[in-house]
Structure 1
Amino acid sequence: MSLSVAHAALSYAHGTSGTALLGETIGANLARTVARHPGREALVDVPSGRRWTYAEFGADVARLARGLLAAGVAKGDRVGIWAVNCPEWVLTQYATARIGAILVNINPAYRAHELRYVLDQAGVSLLIASLAHKTSDYRALVDGVRADCPGLRAVHYIGDPSWDDLVAGTVPGAVAEEELTSREAELSCDDPVNIQYTSGTTGFPKGATLTHHNILNNGYFVGETLGYTEHDRICLPVPFYHCFGMVMGNLAATSHGATMVVPAPSFEPAATLRAVERERCTSLYGVPTMFIAELNLPDFASYDLSTLRTGIMAGSPCPVEVMKRVVAEMNMAEVSICYGMTETSPVSTQTRRDDDVERRTGTVGRVLPHVEVKIVDPATGTTLPRGGAGELCTRGYGVMLGYWDEPDKTAEAIDAGRWMHTGDLAVMREDGYVQIVGRIKDMIIRGGENVYPREIEEFLHAHPKIADVQVVGVPDERFGEEILACVIPRDPADPPTLDDITAFCRERLAHYKIPRRLELLDTFPMTISGKVRKVELRRTYGG
């Protein structure tokens, strides 16, 4: 008895479940879904009007898989995809999984030096790319780096004859279905299937290497927690090149027979709400800044969002006021907060559909099935009592194999017990729910006082003149660090002043938590996963 009481008091939790982990490859899981729901819609691309039933989607995945085999792609070869959200992205995701290739996700916003680094570091041998995105001419950028990437032997452009040749299997010759079946028989669910480059805030990003088992199970259990069935239709304005789109979105959908809806090549708030309305979506994803943009549309009230019931808000902490509006005004009564990182496939904790408003707005949920989390003293590594702030660590099926070809950096992130150290400051409450306090490196030490930016940001989101806010510490001769509020005004013509903010905070925040500096911005610098680059805010405005 005494042992269990002491154990319960620690900041440790594991997700028990009567539902077993999936012990199959992504291709095998898709085949089961196609067999169960051949006539249901699998994929809808709103911009082009193209639609696939699961039978059609499975057939097109197989056709592309045979084309990749004909192009000489072997098990373990790295196939890069550098493209905006489109059906071809999704087909490539599943086709590479079926042949045992490792899909390398490349951010569509990358410029030449970033593209060169990823192609070379991952050893990409075949690249699938968009022709263009916004002001980027992808063909010109690829041509400019090919000389520095000797391992890159083929490039196929979506919407170009080279893509048609790849799908047709004419490069160099046709491959029979039997060869695809034979290749699949060689695969294990523990094989690497995906490399995702984490959004490094300094230096080059690192390639988190993920297996079938990692990402298929994470997508499945996120979908289970949301209550997905074959009747759900998921609007996905989040990028496929990140876990949010391809795991929490695509794999959650296909493992449940649900429909993937692509509203636009990249995020557009109006296009997103139009897609929800026209396709009768039941679920909508986004980072908080996306939901803020949708809610702030001048004609927001004109969209029929009555079919929505759930969705995911993730990527960065959700302001309480934004969550309340999403529930009340977007009909998303079962919206879920997810927390995780690319290196953990990605979700470790999630709020539940029946959670009350306080849990849904004040925490990032509790541990998912088959996952462990603990909160440790960053200096000693010892597990803290519940209620204490420390570093959040997670362990289980979702932890990556490691950073591609970087064992030293892997060892810095994953300890000998296979715990992934997140770098996030968190508190585990008595009820097991987790609150993210901030990043260890973002914590502000002002005059000896520890200040957590998240607390101040939450508070300032209730200010009527503030649409969004980020708080960072900047150098100060007297206090060591001072508090800077970077604010996007709700109305640029009537922005808040520092005096406004000071008066708003004075009676309700301790004096040392009140921002002493203010910067008014139009947008925040963002990472590929939707997190604000606070290091850039500090660097730009810390002088």
Structure 2
Amino acid sequence: MTVALHDLLPAGLRRSWATDGTCPDLDLYSLFRARQIADPHATAVIDAKGTLCYTALDRKVRCLATGLRNLGIRPGDVVGVQLPGGRGAVIAELALAALGAVALPFPVGRGSLEAECLLRRAEAVAVVAAVEHRGDHHAAGLRDLAPALPALRHVIAAGRAGAAPEGTVALHELLRTDATDFVPARPDPDSAARILVSSGSEAEPKMVAYSHNALAGGRGNFLASLMPDKAPPRCLFLVPLGSAFGSNGTAVTLARHGGTLILLDHFTPEAALAAVREHAPTHILGVPTMVRMMLDRLERSGPEDGALPSPTALVLGGSALDETTARAASRAFGCPVVNLYGSADGVNCHTGLGHEVPDADGAGVVAGRPDPRVADIRITDPRTHEKLADGEIGEIIARGPMTPMCYVASPDLDARYRTPEGWVRTGDLGLIDGGGVLHVVGRLKDIVIRGGANISPAEVERQLGSHPQVRDVVCVGVPDELMGERLAACVVARGAQPPTLDSLTGHLTRRGLERRKHPEHLLVVAELPLTPAGKPDRAALRERLAHAPLAVPAAPPAPPLTRAS
């Protein structure tokens, strides 16, 4: 039985965006095919294997689609994709779109328990996975999970010839299928094309269903706003294509805009800088932590490495971007640094190309002016859900062409995070100022409660990011018998001398942050651990804090606040 994917947006509103041209009203494969016909020899993908033009890519897509159809994959079926960055992930996503099936990509590195959870809840009938990647044997592991997944019929193994584990289907054999008679499906552009996986704050990962129009239309309009000359972009993705941020790859860069994908099978700052120098991307998409790692390598490099070619934009999302990182990145890359506020749940806003560095602001992180061609944004009272006036802090909600259909197999999440009119409740706090600019203040849930007082880690991170000895910082809560929780700062040092906790708290005092919000523990790390999606791994840091000796301040923060009953 195929999982039910329903659209929580009013049908008339969704159709209006296709009627007025905001969305292209074509399925992803048809859009890609039109790009291939228009410029058959344009470069589609650059990866570790070399370059692949649109015509060669289309040939592989059609072969795989035929092979998958021969396995029994039908329109509406969900198929998982767990592949490293490269042409294989692109081919799989386009082949599934050509069949009218629904792709469920998720990054390599996610454990078997999480993979089992995703595939089971989505009722996936097949999964495409790497035979081996960086010591992980995903295909064999997923094959072993098959008994617990009644809907799963096939594990398709991607690897060299003869390497597919017993009990799996070799991807390279499917790619050799005769596609002469292949006729692509023409799915409804408002039907599901891809399921995005969000780490979020739930016990299990959230899965969010997106239509062809929401991806190519809404998300496509986001990238279009960062293409001043409208020429096909060359996008270097530092994040995995299987992440939510990576959904701007195949569907947006290729199908919507006819551009080129520059892909890394695994992020390292050295590999990323080499790709910038060799391939001169117009857009670099990543998270701030990745760019801070690249800046650190640049500081240690010599003149023989040469200058970096300047892209059109460095687009950073996934976590808050501080002013120090933005200024350093703008100088190093010679381009505007775009602060992207977005999520898999259906929100997108960015600071645009107008400034080299996003404006600093005491009211929170400046996220830019919402674009109704992507997602309209409002601020509402978290309790009454009434719209608030400009300047008032409340919950950020979003609705627009990029709004997803629904959460997958999670009616409880639909009820919690979607309004009856289809608006997405983000769980983020923010305000819209008198000029229509969105400011992100923090999260409703992401707080540390110290002695009954709430502390926003994001607020403290923003202030610590300007310390001259701090390259990168993440703040997390540490359990404490007396106070319930205390705040710990996990810091990557800038330069050879790491900061002390007292120097950090002194900096916060000078910045005007009240003492009760100061961190009480310091952990210095060489690099922040990253999740498979490329974001800072807060859970890993909490685990490290539980076993590491911690620096403590010379003077404790202010006592906890007492609350009137």
TM-score by length of 1: 0.87
In the TM superposition, residue 214 of structure 1 has moved relative to its aligned partner by 1.4
Partner of 1:351: 351
Partner of 1:3: none
- The alignment status of 1:412 with 2:416, answered yes or no, reads yes
Tell me, what secondary structure is at the counterpart of 1:226? Answer: coil
Output the aligned Cα RMSD: 2.7
State the AA in 2 paired with 1:400: P
Q: Distance in 2 between matches of 1:517 and 1:165?
A: 55
After superposition, where does 1:381-400 map in structure 2 within 5 Å?
Answer: 381-400=385-404
State the AA in 1 paired with 2:73: V
The answer to whether the Cα contact below 8 Å between 1:287 and 1:314 also exists between their aligned partners in 2 is yes
The answer to whether the Cα contact below 8 Å between 1:40 and 1:53 also exists between their aligned partners in 2 is yes
Which of 505, 508, 514 in structure 1 is aligned with 2:508?
505
In the TM superposition, residue 84 of structure 1 has moved relative to its aligned partner by 0.7
Change in CA separation of 1:412 and 1:486 when aligned onto 2, cut-off 3 Å: same
Q: Distance in 2 between matches of 1:18 and 1:352?
A: 24
- The alignment status of 1:33 with 2:35, answered yes or no, reads yes
Task: After superposition, give the CA deviation of every residue in 1:362-407 in whole Å (9 maximum; x if it has no partner).
Answer: 5122212332111112122122222222211101222222121221
Q: Distance in 2 between matches of 1:445 and 1:411?
A: 27
Tell me, what secondary structure is at the counterpart of 1:379? Answer: coil
Q: Distance in 2 between matches of 1:379 and 1:537?
A: 32
Mean alpha-carbon deviation: is it higher for 32-41 or for 96-105?
32-41
- The alignment status of 1:168 with 2:168, answered yes or no, reads no
Partner of 1:69: 69
In the TM superposition, residue 478 of structure 1 has moved relative to its aligned partner by 7.3
Change in CA separation of 1:126 and 1:388 when aligned onto 2, cut-off 3 Å: same
Q: Distance in 2 between matches of 1:249 and 1:156?
A: 20
The answer to whether the Cα contact below 8 Å between 1:424 and 1:440 also exists between their aligned partners in 2 is yes
The answer to whether the Cα contact below 8 Å between 2:391 and 2:433 also exists between their aligned partners in 1 is yes
In the TM superposition, residue 523 of structure 1 has moved relative to its aligned partner by 4.2
Tell me, what secondary structure is at the counterpart of 1:136? Answer: coil
Tell me, what secondary structure is at the counterpart of 2:353? Answer: coil
State the AA in 1 paired with 2:438: V
State the AA in 1 paired with 2:333: M
Change in CA separation of 1:143 and 1:422 when aligned onto 2, cut-off 3 Å: same
State the AA in 2 paired with 1:52: L
Q: Distance in 2 between matches of 1:256 and 1:411?
A: 35
Mean alpha-carbon deviation: is it higher for 75-84 or for 359-368?
359-368
Q: Distance in 2 between matches of 1:163 and 1:417?
A: 43
Q: Distance in 2 between matches of 1:243 and 1:473?
A: 26
Partner of 1:10: none
In the TM superposition, residue 337 of structure 1 has moved relative to its aligned partner by 1.8
Tell me, what secondary structure is at the counterpart of 1:469? Answer: strand
State the AA in 1 paired with 2:115: L
Q: Distance in 1 between matches of 2:538 and 2:444?
A: 12
In the TM superposition, residue 71 of structure 1 has moved relative to its aligned partner by 2.1
Partner of 1:206: 206
Partner of 2:11: none
Partner of 1:235: 236
Change in CA separation of 1:450 and 1:119 when aligned onto 2, cut-off 3 Å: closer
The answer to whether the Cα contact below 8 Å between 1:443 and 1:450 also exists between their aligned partners in 2 is yes
Change in CA separation of 1:354 and 1:249 when aligned onto 2, cut-off 3 Å: farther
After superposition, where does 1:92-111 map in structure 2 within 5 Å?
Answer: 92-111=92-111
In the TM superposition, residue 535 of structure 1 has moved relative to its aligned partner by 6.1
Which of 318, 330, 334 in structure 2 is aligned with 1:331?
334
In the TM superposition, residue 156 of structure 1 has moved relative to its aligned partner by 2.0
Partner of 1:299: 301
- The alignment status of 1:85 with 2:64, answered yes or no, reads no
- The alignment status of 1:246 with 2:247, answered yes or no, reads yes
Tell me, what secondary structure is at the counterpart of 2:367? Answer: coil
The number of aligned residues is 513
Mean alpha-carbon deviation: is it higher for 521-530 or for 209-218?
521-530
Tell me, what secondary structure is at the counterpart of 2:221? Answer: helix
Partner of 2:25: 23
Segments of 5+ residues of structure 2 without an aligned counterpart are 1-16, 162-169, 548-565
Q: Distance in 2 between matches of 1:167 and 1:416?
A: 44
In the TM superposition, residue 315 of structure 1 has moved relative to its aligned partner by 0.6
In the TM superposition, residue 440 of structure 1 has moved relative to its aligned partner by 1.1
Q: Distance in 2 between matches of 1:424 and 1:527?
A: 21
The answer to whether the Cα contact below 8 Å between 2:323 and 2:357 also exists between their aligned partners in 1 is no
Partner of 2:133: 133
In the TM superposition, residue 219 of structure 1 has moved relative to its aligned partner by 3.2
Q: Distance in 2 between matches of 1:458 and 1:276?
A: 28
Partner of 1:180: 183
Task: After superposition, give the CA deviation of every residue in 1:467-501 in whole Å (9 maximum; x if it has no partner).
Answer: 1112345566777654432222234x632111111
State the AA in 1 paired with 2:338: S
Change in CA separation of 1:223 and 1:18 when aligned onto 2, cut-off 3 Å: farther
The answer to whether the Cα contact below 8 Å between 2:478 and 2:485 also exists between their aligned partners in 1 is yes
- The alignment status of 1:438 with 2:446, answered yes or no, reads no
Partner of 1:485: 489
In the TM superposition, residue 317 of structure 1 has moved relative to its aligned partner by 0.7
Tell me, what secondary structure is at the counterpart of 1:55? Answer: helix
Partner of 1:11: none
The answer to whether the Cα contact below 8 Å between 2:159 and 2:171 also exists between their aligned partners in 1 is yes
The answer to whether the Cα contact below 8 Å between 1:201 and 1:535 also exists between their aligned partners in 2 is no
In the TM superposition, residue 143 of structure 1 has moved relative to its aligned partner by 3.1
Partner of 2:550: none
Change in CA separation of 1:384 and 1:157 when aligned onto 2, cut-off 3 Å: same
Q: Distance in 2 between matches of 1:411 and 1:109?
A: 31
Tell me, what secondary structure is at the counterpart of 2:426? Answer: strand
- The alignment status of 1:521 with 2:529, answered yes or no, reads no
State the AA in 2 paired with 1:462: S
Q: Distance in 1 between matches of 2:467 and 2:152?
A: 52
TM-score by length of 2: 0.84
Percent identical pairs in the alignment equals 27
The answer to whether the Cα contact below 8 Å between 1:219 and 1:248 also exists between their aligned partners in 2 is no
Mean alpha-carbon deviation: is it higher for 289-298 or for 427-436?
427-436
The answer to whether the Cα contact below 8 Å between 2:241 and 2:249 also exists between their aligned partners in 1 is no
State the AA in 1 paired with 2:42: R
- The alignment status of 1:310 with 2:313, answered yes or no, reads yes
Q: Distance in 2 between matches of 1:449 and 1:152?
A: 48
Partner of 1:466: 470
In the TM superposition, residue 355 of structure 1 has moved relative to its aligned partner by 3.8
The answer to whether the Cα contact below 8 Å between 1:315 and 1:529 also exists between their aligned partners in 2 is no
The answer to whether the Cα contact below 8 Å between 1:375 and 1:389 also exists between their aligned partners in 2 is yes
State the AA in 1 paired with 2:323: V
Q: Distance in 1 between matches of 2:546 and 2:130?
A: 38
Tell me, what secondary structure is at the counterpart of 2:125? Answer: strand
Mean alpha-carbon deviation: is it higher for 479-488 or for 157-166?
479-488
Partner of 2:45: 43
Q: Distance in 2 between matches of 1:387 and 1:257?
A: 40
Q: Distance in 2 between matches of 1:67 and 1:407?
A: 34
Q: Distance in 1 between matches of 2:314 and 2:20?
A: 24
Partner of 2:166: none
In the TM superposition, residue 423 of structure 1 has moved relative to its aligned partner by 0.8
